With several copies, the nearest count.
Chain A
């Protein structure tokens, strides 16, 4: 398989020339640009980084959705994780994405400079290994992520139990994507013509994982992340607008099966139980999260490591809550690029590399001709 086939510039350009008249025609017939939402943060970055967003911009407004796990994590969860980092004898293990997410008063990056033992890991199994290497310490993995990431964390918990590891803990703040998308659809203020659904979440939950969307009869396509994926998914979605059978289209068949990854789903079920956590911007969403269940309670940091609950407050003026819902863009935030920038991020959307504000700061300023 040639990984690079989906990046092929020549094919991309041929396709774009092929689709462009169709995009123009549809825009003219509708009397406005279409408004699609890319749910996934990785899509947000890909559309920008490849320049496809820029290329499509005469026809399509691409809005970014709630698909950056760091961005939708509730401020209280962020603060709680930082509070754990301050505890003596605790080693925090985390994916790099979390390091600079601003808590109410500080962040992990700064806490490390203050002496907290915080290690960036690339995988959950690396975190488990650190626990095994430091039996006298409590090793806590920050469990942030969607359906894609959660199975590997569930696996590490199962392995810890298997191997009798007593000092490995997970702070489980995992989220499920469909409930967030559903909540957006139910919101009447939303003018979204179609959804580009997250390819890698779909790898786990399958096309069938989106069934609840079908009843709302909104066009939706599961997409990959390469330029040709992005372009063709947008094309398919435009076609759906014209005439749809109201089934979720799968434009990522090389990776996404009807039922997803059944083994991963069963592992999630083994370790987690469905919960209704708070999301940034959304508030509490029913059945939208995963908690460690009672059989694995001994690995649940929130139950097994005592820690005060810090007071949380969102930075005044930060629009992340609206941005993750796709209701505003970073350009609507007065702080964007001024008080808030990647060096001194004020909200999570500016810090995560796939946060909408960060992506727009890094990639979109050129097109908006915004000098910041």
Chain B
């Protein structure tokens, strides 16, 4: 069965869709009430709010799907902000003609991811647009979390000598979707790194006390994220090319298309800035967690004016900047 415009008009068909697909999967008492807003009992604390819309193609990719990604992305944004994710809202835009089974799979994937993260999906919305006015399905997730009072992460805490840590190989998400997105007869066994990080980050923040700042290097890759950090914190960042973890097949795929791994999206990575003293222990701690074995110190902070430098394996130095324009396959 396919999605029809009437599934989005707010009438009987919309109700049926909500009941059969969303309520059935998300299984939250607030959704069952079908009210204008979810009402959540006494909440308190410093509150974190984040929102992201997901317009990715393909909807399903090795290691995940848009549903998993949408929940993961928002949970990770809260987690790297030092917050414990609590609630998520979900806003779908569906293209007329989408297979309902596709939608169900995605919704179930969201539900699983949210459950795994211990987060409730408390409100949702669905709109259907005419065929050709959407690329199958877009989804917005907005997340709300609460912060422990004693944890304060900030650009301002970053100091000369601090270390830059990443919890594993870069560019895996972008690489896993590359072939289909660029319509190239390419295949590799690269799986997306799409993964919720709130559990790990919660442990890190409990265990270590000199984590200055965190970011998840999604769109734009580690280059863009570190450049943003360097600019905001008004420091320089120096990376060692050889210590940046990257799978050979990720490197291979990207070289074939003329693309640079530093600018490619990650969906289960966190960049941590921490004190030199704690940095090695943080890496060891991470390495002991399954799936985080490639964690590594990849660089350090120096006083500066917002530049990111990369020391190459031949001993040269080059600059990294923010992504400029969507990465396109190149011949030269």
Answer yes or no: do A and B interact: yes
What DSSP secondary structure best describes chain A's contact surface?
helix
Docked complex Cα distance between A58 and B5 (Å): 41
Q: Which residue of A lies closest to B95 (CB)?
A: A113
Known A-B contacts A41-B332, A95-B330; the reply to A366 vs B314 at CB < 8 A is no
Q: Which residue of A lies closest to B324 (CB)?
A: A342
CB-CB under 8 A from A97, the residues of chain B are 328, 330-332
CB-CB under 8 A from A341, the residues of chain B are 324
A69 at the interface (CB under 8 A from B): yes
The reply to whether B316 and A112 form a contact with Cβ atoms under 8 Å apart is no
CB-CB under 8 A from B329, the residues of chain A are 95-96, 120, 122
Q: Which residue of A lies closest to B257 (CB)?
A: A122
CB-CB under 8 A from A69, the residues of chain B are 332
Question: Which of B48-56, B107-115, B133-141, B304-312 forms part of the interface with chain A?
Answer: B304-312
Docked complex Cα distance between A243 and B265 (Å): 50
Task: Determine which of B2, B183, B312, B314 lies in contact with A113 in the assembled complex, contact meaning CB atoms within 8 Å.
Answer: B2
The reply to whether B330 and A7 form a contact with Cβ atoms under 8 Å apart is no
Known A-B contacts A9-B242, A113-B3; the reply to A145 vs B331 at CB < 8 A is yes
The reply to whether A112 and B131 form a contact with Cβ atoms under 8 Å apart is yes
CB-CB under 8 A from A96, the residues of chain B are 258, 328-331
A280 at the interface (CB under 8 A from B): no
A266 at the interface (CB under 8 A from B): no
CB-CB under 8 A from A159, the residues of chain B are none
Within 8 A of B (CB), among A333-372: 341-343, 352-354, 362-367, 371
Docked complex Cα distance between A341 and B16 (Å): 14
The reply to whether A99 and B332 form a contact with Cβ atoms under 8 Å apart is no
B161 at the interface (CB under 8 A from A): no
A50 at the interface (CB under 8 A from B): yes
The reply to whether A371 and B314 form a contact with Cβ atoms under 8 Å apart is no
Nearest Cβ on chain B to A137's Cβ, whole angstroms: 15
Residue-wise, chain A 2-30 has the 8 Å CB interface mask toward B (1 for contact) of 00000101001100100000000000000
The reply to whether A50 and B316 form a contact with Cβ atoms under 8 Å apart is yes
Q: Which residue of B lies closest to A200 (CB)?
A: B332
The interface on chain B, measured as residues whose beta carbon lies within 8 A of the other chain's beta carbons, has a size of 37
Nearest Cβ on chain A to B276's Cβ, whole angstroms: 23
The reply to whether B314 and A367 form a contact with Cβ atoms under 8 Å apart is no
The reply to whether B315 and A51 form a contact with Cβ atoms under 8 Å apart is yes
B313 at the interface (CB under 8 A from A): yes
B245 at the interface (CB under 8 A from A): no
Nearest Cβ on chain A to B223's Cβ, whole angstroms: 10
B4 at the interface (CB under 8 A from A): yes
The reply to whether B319 and A363 form a contact with Cβ atoms under 8 Å apart is yes
Task: Determine which of B131, B242, B305, B325 lies in contact with A342 in the assembled complex, contact meaning CB atoms within 8 Å.
Answer: B325
The reply to whether A149 and B12 form a contact with Cβ atoms under 8 Å apart is no
Q: Using CB atoms and an 8 Å cutoff, list the residues of chain B in contact with chain A.
A: 2-6, 12-13, 16, 96-97, 131, 182-184, 242, 257-258, 305, 307, 309, 311-319, 321, 324-325, 328-332
Counting from the closest, the 4 A-B pairs by CB-CB distance are A51-B316, A96-B328, A51-B312, A113-B97
22 contacts between A and B (CB under 8 A): A9-B313, A13-B314, A49-B318, A50-B312, A50-B313, A51-B311, A53-B316, A95-B329, A96-B328, A100-B325, A112-B96, A113-B2, A114-B97, A122-B182, A122-B257, A126-B183, A342-B12, A343-B6, A352-B332, A363-B319, A364-B318, A364-B319
